[in-house]
Chains A and B, each alone.
Chain A
Amino acid sequence: MAVNLMINGKATEVDADPQTPLLWVLRDHLGMTGTKFGCGIAQCGACTVHIDGVATRSCQFPLEAAEGVKITTIEGLSPDSSHPLQKLWVEFNVPQCGYCQSGMLMAAAALLEEIPNPTDEDIDQYVSNICRCGTYTRVRAAIHKAADMMKA
Chain B
Amino acid sequence: MKILRIIGIIIVVGIVLFVGLAFLLNQRPSSPFDGVAAVTAPQYPVEEASYVARLADCVACHSLPGEAPFAGGLPMGSPLGVMYATNITPDKATGIGNYTLADFDNAVRRGVAKDGHRLYPSMPYPSYSKMTDEDIKKLYDYFMFAVEPVAKPNQETGIPFPLNMRWPLAFWNVVFAPTKVYENKPEQSAEWNRGAYLVQGAGHCGSCHTERGLAIQEVALDESSDAYLSGALLDGWHASNLRGNQATGLGRWSEDDIVQLLKTGRNKHATVFGTMLEAFNNSTQFMTDEDLKSIAVYLKSLPPRGADPQWTYDDATKVAFAGNDMTAPGSSLYLTQCSNCHGRDGLGRGALQPPLAGNPTVIGQNAESIINILLNGAGRMVVDGVPDSYRMTPFRVLLRDDQIAEIATFIRSSWGNDAPAVTAAEVAKLREDTDPTSDHVIVLNMR
What chain B residues lie within 8 Å of A114 (beta carbons)? 322, 324
The number of residue pairs between A and B whose CB atoms lie closer than 8 Å in the complex comes to 45
Q: How far is the CB of A115 from chain B (nearest CB, A)?
A: 5
Tell me if B316 counts as interface (CB < 8 A to partner A): no
Chain A positions 37-74 with a Cβ under 8 Å from a chain B Cβ: 41-43, 54, 56-57, 60-62, 64-65
Contact yes or no, B350 A60, CB < 8 A: no
Number of interface residues of A (CB under 8 A): 19
Cα of A64 to Cα of B335 in the assembled complex, Å: 23
Tell me if A82 counts as interface (CB < 8 A to partner B): no
Q: How far is the CB of A66 from chain B (nearest CB, A)?
A: 9
Contact yes or no, A62 B349, CB < 8 A: yes
Residue of B nearest to A57 (CB): B340
With A41-B393, A43-B393, A115-B324 already in contact, the answer to whether A54 and B350 are too (CB < 8 A) is no
What chain A residues lie within 8 Å of B332 (beta carbons)? 125
With A42-B393, A125-B335 already in contact, the answer to whether A60 and B324 are too (CB < 8 A) is no
Tell me if B172 counts as interface (CB < 8 A to partner A): no
Tell me if B389 counts as interface (CB < 8 A to partner A): yes
Tell me if B352 counts as interface (CB < 8 A to partner A): yes
What is the predominant secondary structure among interface residues of chain A facing chain B?
A: mixed
Q: How far is the CB of A146 from chain B (nearest CB, A)?
A: 17
Contact yes or no, A56 B336, CB < 8 A: no
What chain B residues lie within 8 Å of A56 (beta carbons)? 340
Q: How far is the CB of B288 from chain A (nearest CB, A)?
A: 23
Q: Please indicate which of the listed interface residues B322, B353, B389 has the most CB atoms of chain A within 10 Å of its own CB.
A: B389
Contact yes or no, A64 B350, CB < 8 A: yes
What chain A residues lie within 8 Å of B17 (beta carbons)? none
Give the residue of B335, B351, B390 whose beta carbon is less than 8 angstroms from that of A60.
B390
Contact yes or no, B350 A42, CB < 8 A: no
Tell me if A81 counts as interface (CB < 8 A to partner B): no
What chain A residues lie within 8 Å of B341 (beta carbons)? 42, 57, 60
- Write out, one digit per residue, whether chain B residues 312-337 have a CB within 8 A of any chain A CB (1) or not (0): 00000000001010100000100111
Q: Please indicate which of the listed interface residues B335, B340, B350, B393 has the most CB atoms of chain A within 10 Å of its own CB.
A: B340
What chain B residues lie within 8 Å of A126 (beta carbons)? 335
Cα of A4 to Cα of B205 in the assembled complex, Å: 41
Residue of A nearest to B377 (CB): A41
Cα of A127 to Cα of B366 in the assembled complex, Å: 34
Contact yes or no, B353 A62, CB < 8 A: yes
What chain A residues lie within 8 Å of B412 (beta carbons)? none
With A125-B326, A125-B336, A126-B335 already in contact, the answer to whether A61 and B349 are too (CB < 8 A) is yes
Cα of A21 to Cα of B350 in the assembled complex, Å: 13
- Write out, one digit per residue, whether chain A residues 6-46 have a CB within 8 A of any chain B CB (1) or not (0): 00000000000001010000000000000000000111000
What chain A residues lie within 8 Å of B353 (beta carbons)? 60-62, 65
Contact yes or no, A122 B390, CB < 8 A: no
Tell me if A128 counts as interface (CB < 8 A to partner B): yes
Give the residue of B324, B336, B337, B350 whose beta carbon is less than 8 angstroms from that of A62.
B350
What chain A residues lie within 8 Å of B390 (beta carbons)? 19, 21, 60, 62
Contact yes or no, B352 A62, CB < 8 A: yes
Cα of A125 to Cα of B332 in the assembled complex, Å: 7
Tell me if B118 counts as interface (CB < 8 A to partner A): no
Q: How far is the CB of B267 from chain A (nearest CB, A)?
A: 13
Give the residue of A41, A64, A122 whose beta carbon is less than 8 angstroms from that of B324.
A122
Tell me if B344 counts as interface (CB < 8 A to partner A): yes
What chain B residues lie within 8 Å of A125 (beta carbons)? 326, 332, 335-336
What chain B residues lie within 8 Å of A122 (beta carbons)? 324
Chain A positions 96-140 with a Cβ under 8 Å from a chain B Cβ: 114-115, 122, 125-126, 128
Cα of A57 to Cα of B389 in the assembled complex, Å: 14
Q: B residues near A, CB below 8 A? A: 322, 324, 326, 332, 335-337, 340-341, 344, 349-353, 389-391, 393
Can you add 6 more A-B contacts, CB < 8 Å, to A19-B352, A57-B340, A65-B350?
Answer: A19-B390, A43-B393, A62-B349, A62-B350, A115-B324, A126-B335
Q: Could you list 20 A-B pairs, sorted by A, with CB under 8 Å?
A: A19-B389, A21-B389, A21-B390, A41-B393, A42-B340, A43-B393, A56-B340, A57-B340, A57-B341, A60-B353, A61-B353, A62-B390, A64-B350, A64-B351, A65-B353, A114-B324, A125-B332, A125-B335, A125-B336, A128-B337
Closest 8 CB pairs of A and B: A65-B349, A128-B336, A62-B352, A42-B340, A57-B340, A65-B350, A60-B341, A41-B393
